[in-house]
Amino acid sequence: MRIVEIRVTPIAVPDVPLANTKGVHQPVFLRSVIEVETDCGRVGLGETYGAARTLAGLRSVAPMLEGLDPWNLNDLRQRTETALPDAGGVNAPTALADHKLVDVVYSAFEIACLDLAGQQAGRPVHKLLGGAVRDTVSFGGYLFFKFAKQDLTFGPDILGEVMTPDALVDQARWMVGEYGFRSLKLKGGVLEPDLEIETLLKLREAFPHHPLRIDPMGAWTVPTALRVIKALGGVEGGVLEYLEDPCRGMDAMAELSVQTDMPLATNLVVVEFEQVFEAVRKNAVQIVLSDPHYWRGATGSIHLGQMCRAAGLGVSMHSNSHLGISLAAMLHVAASTPNLTYDCDTHYPWSSHDIVKGGRRPFADGTWPVPTTPGLGVELDRDALADLHDLYSRTMVRDRDDTDEMLKYVPDYVRKVPRW
Ligand code: GKR
Ligand code: MG
């Protein structure tokens, strides 16, 4: 089996104004959909970021993959590195972490190659990743403070403004009622820390048995983080399961870690293998979030799990706004990472679109079944792809910039991380 053609299609997906510490989501989020076609007529699928640098990277590597055997992932890595020497990062300057273009591009094509290999072998992708250790993958409800959507041109809002602790608890009730999530994560760093403390205490009251997390994305100084941990009851009998990226940068996380037993998680300070060693040396974090979109694909995410086990670190899973091909990749990886013991993140409930046949996948009790059919287990809905590509052409949004978008809602907004 050899690759004969690759199609990379940028799409724009209607989004809602979800807030985080660096701003707010734009009216659409961008994704790239990858179709890798082989000489035997099979098509492998991938989905990744859709912002300009990622798209350009995918497009410059695609022609170099002609003739590649999709089973040969070392060859894929080599060709990607050759096509993108010193390519730098993918993210906007306002982002809080950057990911290497070469890792992101490799990851996207790797998923498509594994889809092809699985299809040819007649086995689901998780069989190629060491085998599934679970039949379903459990996700947490991802809660966001948000504005009411001002511009309804590209799609309706979900739930309107949510900018107070009580409104956030209502959002959680909706999410748990609708999807059955059994744990909850709050995107913090948006309201003042006291209001976010109040929110978590009210969530605990409303959901006495749901594990709770908060992710302020580096918004707090070390003293503020310590104050929040104390107010939330610390570790034993406290409100939090873990605290994700409370402080900005590896050294601030290490400074906090030495003063608390609260498990600290990250998808900001450990995003490359080399950083796992630094984090362990500095005892900066106790849990690392994996993600097949930048941890060198599905195989890299599995390697991360093994490294974390050796280092005594826990593993959870990160998400960005995504659709069904990414969801399938996340399911295969999560199923075959034995030490992924926390509920995974997903933005899926915040969108009402999909590009896979059969439409949006329903989930029960906050879980999705692990696909059992060959490959990734999803097929492309070409009409849906064409519609979202058309939206991409019409919107003219080409990069993610939450900070710029925030000025539409708060005209004097200034990005400041940490803020409190
Ligand atoms: O969607 O606003 C968002 C999140 O902040 C996302 O961009 C992060 O990558 O959810 C992610 C996280 O930091 O866990
Ligand atoms: Mg995070």
The 10s digit of each residue's pLDDT in 141-174 is 999 999 999 989 999 999 999 999 999 999 999 9
Question: Looking at ligand 1, which residue's alpha carbon is closest to its atom 4?
Answer: 320
pLDDT of residue 69 exceeding 80, the answer is yes
Q: Which amino acid does the sequence have at 267?
A: N
Burial 367-384 (b: 16+ CB within 10 A, else e): bbebbeebbbbbbbbeeb
Predicted confidence (pLDDT) per residue in 5-60, tens digit: 999 999 999 999 999 999 999 999 999 999 999 999 999 999 999 999 999 999 99
Q: What is the position in ligand 1's atom list of the atom closest to the CA of 142?
A: 10
| pTM of the model as a whole | 0.97
How far is it, in rounded angstroms, from Cα 241 to Cα 237? 10
How far is it, in rounded angstroms, from Cα 418 to Cα 150? 28
How far is it, in rounded angstroms, from Cα 4 to Cα 36? 8
How far is it, in rounded angstroms, from Cα 21 to Cα 11? 26
Half-sphere exposure of 333 (CA within 13 A, CB side): 34
Q: What is the pLDDT of residue 361?
A: 84
- The answer to which of 78-92, 175-189, 235-249 has the lowest mean pLDDT is 78-92
pLDDT of residue 87 exceeding 80, the answer is no
Q: Can you tell me the mean pLDDT for 372-385?
A: 98
Q: Could you say which architecture CATH assigns to the domain 128-369?
A: Alpha-Beta Barrel (3.20)
Q: What is the pLDDT of residue 91?
A: 84
User: 3-126+382-394 has which fold?
Assistant: Enolase-like; domain 1 (3.30.390)
Q: What is the pLDDT of residue 268?
A: 98
Whether 318 is a known active-site residue: answer: yes
User: What separation in Å is there between the alpha carbon of 36 and the centre of ligand 2?
Assistant: 31
How far is it, in rounded angstroms, from Cα 255 to Cα 283? 9
How far is it, in rounded angstroms, from Cα 369 to Cα 328? 10
Q: Can you tell me the mean pLDDT for 347-354?
A: 96
For the chain, the residue count is 420
Residue of 22, 25, 214, 217 with the most ligand 1 atoms within 8 Å of its CB, for mutation = 217
Q: What is the pLDDT of residue 207?
A: 98
The domain segmentation of the chain, as residue ranges, is: 3-126+382-394, 128-369
Q: What is the pLDDT of residue 306?
A: 98
pLDDT bin (cut points 50, 70, 90) of residue 84 is very high
Ligand nearest to the CA of 95: 1
Mean pLDDT of all residues belonging to the chain: 97
Q: What is the position in ligand 1's atom list of the atom closest to the CA of 289?
A: 14
Whether 353 is a known active-site residue: answer: no
Predicted confidence (pLDDT) per residue in 188-244, tens digit: 999 999 999 999 999 999 999 999 999 999 999 999 999 999 999 999 889 999 999
User: Residue 59 phi/psi, 5° resolution?
Assistant: -70, -30
Question: Looking at ligand 1, which residue's alpha carbon is closest to its atom 9?
Answer: 320
In 3D, which of 94, 108, 88, 86 has the Cα closest to residue 35?
108
Greatest CA separation for the chain: 61
Residue of 320, 347, 351 with the most ligand 1 atoms within 8 Å of its CB, for mutation = 320
Q: Can you tell me the mean pLDDT for 180-188?
A: 98
User: Residue 89 phi/psi, 5° resolution?
Assistant: -100, 170
In 3D, which of 394, 351, 356, 399 has the Cα closest to residue 30?
399
How far is it, in rounded angstroms, from Cα 37 to Cα 17? 36
pLDDT bin (cut points 50, 70, 90) of residue 362 is confident
Q: Which contiguous run of DSSP H or E holds residue 6? A: strand 3-14
How far is it, in rounded angstroms, from Cα 242 to Cα 255? 17
Residue 186, helix vs strand vs coil: strand
Q: Can you tell me the mean pLDDT for 93-119?
A: 95
Q: What is the pLDDT of residue 45?
A: 98
pLDDT bin (cut points 50, 70, 90) of residue 414 is very high
pLDDT bin (cut points 50, 70, 90) of residue 291 is very high
CB 27 within 8 A of CB 397: yes
pLDDT of residue 110 exceeding 90, the answer is yes
